[in-house]
């Protein structure tokens, strides 16, 4: 028994070393660096939580937090709904594995390529949206991403289009793992359609749904590449999320102290928002 346990741990060592090298060590280094600032001679000096307070005192950063939360609360739930519907359709189809991989294509595409594609479709004078509106006699002088009221919801919609297939890909095995006896018993009890979905599928998938929702919330809060390609954070900072703010501080303003602090605030925000969503979605029965 002791030898078997030791063998299992030895098999885990390569994976643990890889995770430590590519995830834990860089993350810990970034966290430590977020508590420093450039001193005399360019050397990093420990300043405690000063960088975090500087971010929280920045009006642009506070605006980006609100934008990021709004973006995540639009994108994550809608991608869960669309992904679950797609997963149910795939699970009940023939050649489901081929369909599962085929529908994953939007997520496999580069986020920057997705942003370029949808910016051309929606915000280009010769794009799809203006082409259709021209045929209706109502061409747009400016694309919808130039409208402060439409830019953020549309950008979230692009994220839903990109990530819903991933949600479906993750949920299909859970659907297939639901025992047939549960479905048969539900059919005997007259639970079909919506009742089958509500009383059988959702309770059986609840842990998996919660895990995927947390994944989607963290992903949406950390999205910057697609947003930058679509809107560059505009119009008037309407689509500047905390992730994009962090990128702009790090890569554009060369202010790595505030950029790293903002990046770690995304982690805190993900934990808080995820906890709230899990509390709201918990089983109250």
pLDDT, tens only, 2-14 = 556 677 777 777 7
User: What is the overall mean pLDDT for the chain?
Assistant: 84
pLDDT score, position 189: 64
Judged against a pLDDT cut of 90, whether residue 66 lies above it is answered with yes
Phi then psi dihedrals of residue 44, to 5 deg: -75, 130
pLDDT, tens only, 1-58 = 555 667 777 777 777 788 777 778 888 888 888 888 887 766 788 888 899 999 989 9
Where do the domains of the chain lie? Answer: 49-281
- Cross-strand partners of 44: 38
pLDDT score, position 155: 93
Judged against a pLDDT cut of 60, whether residue 222 lies above it is answered with yes
Tell me the Cα Rg of the chain.
23
Q: pTM score, two decimals?
A: 0.87
Judged against a pLDDT cut of 90, whether residue 278 lies above it is answered with no
Overall CATH class of domain 49-281: mainly alpha
pLDDT score, position 163: 94
Q: Which two tokens stand for residue 259?
A: 């950029």
Spatial contact of 168 and 100, defined as CB atoms under 8 Å apart: yes
Spatial contact of 186 and 204, defined as CB atoms under 8 Å apart: no
Judged against a pLDDT cut of 80, whether residue 269 lies above it is answered with yes
């Amino acid at each position: 028994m002791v030898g078997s346990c030791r063998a299992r741990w030895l098999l885990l060592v390569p994976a643990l070393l890889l995770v430590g090298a590519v995830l834990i060590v860089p993350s810990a280094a970034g966290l430590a660096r977020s508590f420093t600032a450039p001193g005399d001679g360019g050397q990093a000096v420990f300043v405690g939580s000063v960088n975090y307070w500087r971010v929280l005192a920045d009006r642009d950063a506070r605006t980006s937090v609100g934008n990021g939360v709004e973006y995540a609360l639009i994108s994550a739930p809608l991608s869960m709904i669309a992904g679950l519907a797609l997963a149910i359709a795939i699970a009940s189809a023939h050649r489901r594995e081929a369909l599962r991989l085929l529908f994953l294509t939007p997520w496999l595409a580069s986020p920057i390529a997705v942003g370029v594609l949808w910016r051309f479709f929606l915000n280009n004078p010769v794009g799809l949206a203006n082409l259709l509106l021209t045929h209706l006699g109502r061409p747009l002088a400016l694309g919808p991403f130039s409208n402060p009221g439409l830019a953020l919801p549309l950008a979230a919609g692009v994220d839903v289009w990109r990530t819903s297939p991933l949600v479906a890909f993750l949920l299909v095995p859970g659907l297939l793992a639901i025992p047939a006896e549960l479905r048969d018993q539900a059919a005997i009890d007259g639970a079909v359609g919506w009742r089958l979905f509500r009383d059988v599928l959702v309770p059986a998938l609840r842990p998996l749904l919660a895990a995927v929702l947390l994944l989607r919330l963290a992903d949406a809060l950390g999205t910057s590449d697609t947003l930058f390609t679509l809107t560059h954070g505009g119009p008037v900072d309407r689509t500047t999320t905390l992730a994009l703010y962090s990128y702009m501080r790090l890569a554009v303003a060369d202010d790595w102290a505030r950029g790293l602090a903002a990046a770690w605030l995304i982690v805190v925000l993900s934990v808080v928002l995820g906890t709230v969503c899990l509390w709201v979605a918990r089983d109250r029965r």
